[in-house]
Chains A and B, each alone.
Chain A
């Protein structure tokens, strides 16, 4: 491994490689270009060799196999990641903006005193520096960053890069570490799965989504009425679930569900990157928001700058009239 290499943290969640891994591999491939560097995937897992065939888009796969890495707890994962990065000195470390990434990327940067960029949407190599386009302020601002110190720790927004296809057979290299990987202060106990019984929003053709603009719990009834006349279901962005107005099983986005319905009607949702991650592949997106700069309009097919609370009953009425 050389100082031109790009290291990708291959994220394993409940026995499966997370989709973000393949997007990171694509981003890394764009960065190594003609530098002579390699795209290196790092798998921190127990029995991680099983993931190697899926990681053919990398040039090299580093495997750290340890029972302490069977399920996520920050300390052994950080210890392994930091030791590999220190030993291999890559130009950049790409980590997804996921539940695990939000721990490991800033912790790694702090431990190594390395520059960290959050919200990365585009990355390119410019001579000795990296140029990063980062989204922040809920997608309402974009910053161009220049990073001229290695290793750069880049936390990449899911959906920013088209996933890399498994191109060939990467060289697999088991790693033996000197660091203790036993959990210390933080210990994984178990996964808690959502209770069955609620509507499965991932299986719905039509979703009526509500966000902060719905203002109060009682107004969700307006969305329910629209969902009923359309034959769909109601879902929400995180602030609505945080308020306890809908269960977590109805949450769309990074920490919720990923949906691809035929129709996604978004009412009062600004469209922060975390929400877009869960719905941007919907076949038809119609967004309603009073803020003309709401990022949801960047990915919607149709938009209207009106009050969601006024439009919802008007839509129910118009659909009712159309159906007779």
Chain B
């Protein structure tokens, strides 16, 4: 099975986020970027499928943020091909803009299956995975935790997650796009030495496709962080002082028995 995986860059939530001068968008020039977490799971799931049933894994990404590091890491993990798409760094890769370019690239690659993270935390007016499916005209199902090759050829069996740790098992005929929430196992760790080796041995394929336009009829009028600590009474002090205060609170509430 030949699998296409989309890897996106998203602002690292560990770092403070800032709004740009327009007041309606994130200031991406001030952001540190990391690979989108569920995309990382999509890559892991693709590698597991390749290892169990053969085929290839092709990673497709926009040339945005710290993407080279992400792509070398993907190569070190076992991706067979890396396709990097030209992108205007001044343009935020919103789902609608990105979907147009990524879908064209995937159409050319013609994989059997496309795996994409089910969501990215910076998505606001679109979700990339179903947008790709719509552009490709392929079926889509998301919130997937685990994909296996089906006994019947040309299909995969997926687990869709529901509340209460309940899964629904679905059979998906290929080609299809799946929105991955989690792989069957955590994304693999690769040592820095292997990433360095991949930096020397990996050649990115490069292509350019037109970006899409944003959806009509919707606009951001204001953006800001929510007020911090709106309700919590903050406990200050050393670890020991904080611990003592929490114990007092629990005792007052009758929670220490």
Are A185 and B165 interface neighbours, CB within 8 A? no
- B169 CB within 8 Å of chain A: yes
User: Measured between alpha carbons, how far is A262 from B232 in the docked complex, in Å?
Assistant: 17
CB-CB under 8 A from A190, the residues of chain B are 168-169
| A142 CB to nearest B CB, Å | 5
How many residues belonging to A are interface residues under a CB distance threshold of 8 Å? 100
Are A243 and B186 interface neighbours, CB within 8 A? yes
CB-CB under 8 A from A13, the residues of chain B are 162-163
- B257 CB within 8 Å of chain A: yes
- B205 CB within 8 Å of chain A: no
Q: Which of A26-34, A41-49, A51-59, A103-111 contacts its partner?
A: A103-111
CB-CB under 8 A from B239, the residues of chain A are 306-307, 310-311, 314
User: Measured between alpha carbons, how far is A251 from B124 in the docked complex, in Å?
Assistant: 25
> Which residue of chain B has the shortest Cβ distance to A291 in the bound complex?
B14
Are B246 and A103 interface neighbours, CB within 8 A? no
CB-CB under 8 A from A185, the residues of chain B are 139, 172-173, 176
Which residues of chain B from 146 to 203 have any CB-CB distance to chain A below 8 Å in the complex? 157, 159-173, 176, 179, 181-182, 185-186
Contact of A301 among B134, B233, B256 (CB under 8 A): B233
CB-CB under 8 A from B142, the residues of chain A are 102-103
CB-CB under 8 A from B181, the residues of chain A are 255
CB-CB under 8 A from A143, the residues of chain B are 24, 124, 220, 222-223
> Which residue of chain B has the shortest Cβ distance to A302 in the bound complex?
B233
- B141 CB within 8 Å of chain A: yes
Contact of B163 among A113, A118, A230, A255 (CB under 8 A): A255
Are B17 and A141 interface neighbours, CB within 8 A? yes
- A147 CB within 8 Å of chain B: yes
> Which residue of chain B has the shortest Cβ distance to A136 in the bound complex?
B124
User: Measured between alpha carbons, how far is A219 from B178 in the docked complex, in Å?
Assistant: 33
Are B168 and A314 interface neighbours, CB within 8 A? no
- A140 CB within 8 Å of chain B: yes
Are B171 and A189 interface neighbours, CB within 8 A? yes
For chain B, what secondary structure do more than half of its interface residues adopt (helix, strand, loop), or is it mixed?
mixed
- A39 CB within 8 Å of chain B: no
CB-CB under 8 A from A35, the residues of chain B are none
Interface residue tally of chain B, by bracket? Answer: 35 or more
| B256 CB to nearest A CB, Å | 6
Are A194 and B164 interface neighbours, CB within 8 A? yes
Are B242 and A306 interface neighbours, CB within 8 A? yes
| A195 CB to nearest B CB, Å | 9
Are B165 and A194 interface neighbours, CB within 8 A? yes
| A254 CB to nearest B CB, Å | 7
Which residues of chain B from 116 to 152 have any CB-CB distance to chain A below 8 Å in the complex? 118-119, 121-127, 129-131, 133-134, 139-143
> Which residue of chain A has the shortest Cβ distance to B132 in the bound complex?
A110
> Which residue of chain B has the shortest Cβ distance to A254 in the bound complex?
B163
CB-CB under 8 A from B253, the residues of chain A are 262-263, 284
Interface centre among B126, B130, B134, B171 (most CB of A within 10 A): B130
- B21 CB within 8 Å of chain A: no
CB-CB under 8 A from A248, the residues of chain B are 165
Are A314 and B242 interface neighbours, CB within 8 A? yes
User: Measured between alpha carbons, how far is A192 from B157 in the docked complex, in Å?
Assistant: 13
Contact of B226 among A139, A148, A318 (CB under 8 A): A139
Q: What 6 pairs across the A-B complex have the smallest Cβ distances? A: A149-B217, A303-B232, A110-B134, A115-B218, A314-B243, A185-B139
Which residues of B approach A to under 8 Å, CB–CB?
A: 11, 13-14, 16-17, 19, 24, 26, 37, 41, 118-119, 121-127, 129-131, 133-134, 139-143, 157, 159-173, 176, 179, 181-182, 185-186, 215-236, 239-240, 242-244, 246-247, 249-251, 253, 255-257
